[in-house]
């Protein structure tokens, strides 16, 4: 089995996928824009071959490299980046190589455009926020007269919390139209709530093999726009209602043998025309692992290797997860250099050293969303995890 991993060096933890795949007998080839000498040892030891391409966005360069690999090693079974930025490019390369696994270009609209996702969410039985596209001010104003202010605008085709706008009134709406770029935005009714996600890995019949529930008490959009710090946590025991809905969504989108990260809103209050407090409203799908170092956090929640499960599914279309019975609550507590905190790193380690499993600093590319410094820690329950959060993020 031949597997081409696009940009296996970013984020750095993706080398764990490569090692797990090789351990299951999969030949993994890397294509990246980082010189081979800069790769970490895990990649160097487990990649069958690495091809340097100076510009991963140059489709002809990528096609030429794929042709080289096919001519040398035979047909390519998988082409994956597990990175939102390259998902469409991945699909074009699959089409070029005749790769039978993974989304092809004609299937990409439903996972690229937030407006098109809503149809598949609805088919799965999920509630969705009402919306309009930013075709004209008058149309948006009419939409506001139906759902009321505030509104929330974000690029219809985009990822992350940049270029998002909370629109409080008609004056804000006019300002939005006067300042926005030529990109199409989706404008939705504003939801007062918090974000959760249903993450996991599924087989080639869209059956979920392993699942997780991430909880984001502070929306990343608020973290970016209001410059607050963030924490989020993961449970590998997913409550029944979310499990049922998440599995239905995976089936609706036709996800096959891949990682997924599906975001929902939990309403903090009743929303006329949509739902009641506590209801789950579908937000968007991301057909890859959760971002940053979060896959490591999934491992802590599972008390096992998320990477090994993925490799087992790729190699054998199955993984027995019954061995992962001693599951935990894993939490990421992040700090920003903008703030002065009460407790030093040494004090945090002295108090929670046995719980802290990883400590580090994020790449500059994701610091606006996730902060500068992070602690990954493992606890028996949410109460203990939240107490840790309060201690780490207490400010002067």
Contact status, residue 17 vs residue 5, Cβ threshold 8 Å? yes
What pLDDT shows up at residue 39? Answer: 98
Q: Same domain, yes or no, for 355 and 265?
A: yes
- 300: closest CA among 276, 333, 271, 278? 333
Q: Same domain, yes or no, for 280 and 243?
A: yes
The strand ranges marked E within the chain are: 2-6, 27-32, 49-52, 78-80, 127-128, 131-133, 151-155, 165-167, 185-189, 193-202, 208-216, 231-235, 259-267, 280-286, 329-335, 356-361, 373-379
Asked whether residue 118 is assigned to any structural domain, the reply reads: no
Q: Count of alpha carbons within 13 Å of 380, Cβ hemisphere only?
A: 1
Q: Same domain, yes or no, for 377 and 241?
A: yes
Q: Same domain, yes or no, for 268 and 334?
A: yes
- Which range marks the domain in which residue 102 is found? 2-107
- 351: closest CA among 329, 363, 333, 369? 333
Q: Same domain, yes or no, for 271 and 363?
A: yes
Asked whether residue 387 is assigned to any structural domain, the reply reads: yes
Q: Same domain, yes or no, for 311 and 214?
A: yes
What pLDDT shows up at residue 370? Answer: 78
The SS3 of residue 210 is: strand
Q: Same domain, yes or no, for 198 and 177?
A: no
Give the total number of structural domains in the chain: 3
Asked whether residue 199 is assigned to any structural domain, the reply reads: yes
- Render pLDDT for 75-131 as a digit per residue (tens, 0 to 9): 999 999 999 999 999 999 999 999 999 999 999 999 999 999 999 999 999 999 999
**CATH number of the CATH domain containing 44:** 3.40.50.20
**CATH number of the CATH domain containing 159:** 3.30.1490.20
Q: Same domain, yes or no, for 26 and 175?
A: no
Q: What is the pTM of this model?
A: 0.92
Spell out, as residue ranges, where the chain has pLDDT lower than 70: 159-162, 221
What pLDDT shows up at residue 159? Answer: 66
Asked whether residue 76 is assigned to any structural domain, the reply reads: yes
Asked whether residue 114 is assigned to any structural domain, the reply reads: no
Q: Same domain, yes or no, for 203 and 291?
A: yes
- Render pLDDT for 153-196 as a digit per residue (tens, 0 to 9): 999 997 655 578 999 999 999 999 999 888 999 999 999 999 99
What pLDDT shows up at residue 121? Answer: 98
Bridge partners (DSSP) of residue 235 are 213, 329
**CATH number of the CATH domain containing 283:** 3.30.470.20
Asked whether residue 120 is assigned to any structural domain, the reply reads: no
Q: Same domain, yes or no, for 9 and 92?
A: yes
């Amino acid at each position: 089995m031949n597997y081409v991993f696009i940009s296996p060096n970013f984020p750095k933890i993706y080398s764990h996928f490569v090692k797990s795949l090789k351990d299951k007998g999969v030949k993994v080839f890397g294509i990246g824009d980082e010189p081979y000498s800069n790769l970490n040892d895990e990649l160097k030891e487990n990649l069958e071959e690495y091809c340097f391409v100076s510009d991963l966005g140059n489709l002809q360069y990528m096609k030429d490299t794929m042709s080289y690999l096919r001519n040398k090693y035979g047909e390519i079974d998988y082409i994956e980046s597990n990175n939102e930025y390259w998902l469409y490019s991945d699909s074009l390369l699959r089409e070029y190589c005749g790769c039978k696994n993974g989304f092809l270009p004609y299937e990409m609209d439903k996972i690229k455009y937030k407006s098109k996702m809503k149809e598949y969410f609805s088919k799965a039985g999920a509630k969705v926020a009402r919306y309009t596209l930013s075709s004209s001010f008058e149309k948006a104003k009419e939409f506001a007269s139906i759902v009321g202010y505030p509104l929330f605008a974000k690029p219809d085709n985009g990822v992350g919390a940049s270029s998002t706008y909370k629109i409080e009134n008609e004056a804000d709406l006019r300002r939005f139209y006067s300042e926005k770029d030529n990109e199409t935005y989706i404008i939705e009714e504003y939801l007062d709530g918090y974000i959760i996600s249903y993450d996991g890995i599924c087989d080639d019949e869209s059956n979920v093999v392993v699942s997780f529930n991430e909880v984001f008490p502070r929306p990343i959009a608020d973290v970016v726009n209001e410059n607050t710090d963030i924490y989020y946590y993961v449970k590998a025991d997913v409550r029944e209602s979310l499990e049922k809905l998440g599995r239905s969504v995976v089936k609706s989108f036709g996800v096959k043998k891949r990682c997924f990260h599906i975001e929902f809103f939990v309403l903090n209050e009743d929303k006329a025309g949509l739902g009641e407090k506590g209801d789950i409203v579908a937000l968007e799908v991301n057909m890859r692992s959760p971002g940053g170092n979060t896959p490591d956090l999934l491992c802590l929640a599972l008390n096992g290797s998320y990477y090994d499960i993925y490799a087992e599914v790729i190699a054998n279309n199955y993984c027995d997860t019954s061995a992962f019975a001693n599951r935990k609550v894993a939490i990421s507590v992040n700090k920003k250099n903008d703030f002065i905190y009460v407790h030093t790193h040494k004090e945090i380690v002295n108090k929670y050293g046995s719980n802290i499993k990883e400590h580090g600093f994020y790449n500059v590319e994701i610091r606006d969303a996730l902060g500068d410094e992070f602690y990954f820690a493992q606890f028996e329950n949410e109460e203990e995890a939240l107490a840790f959060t309060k201690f780490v993020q207490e400010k002067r």
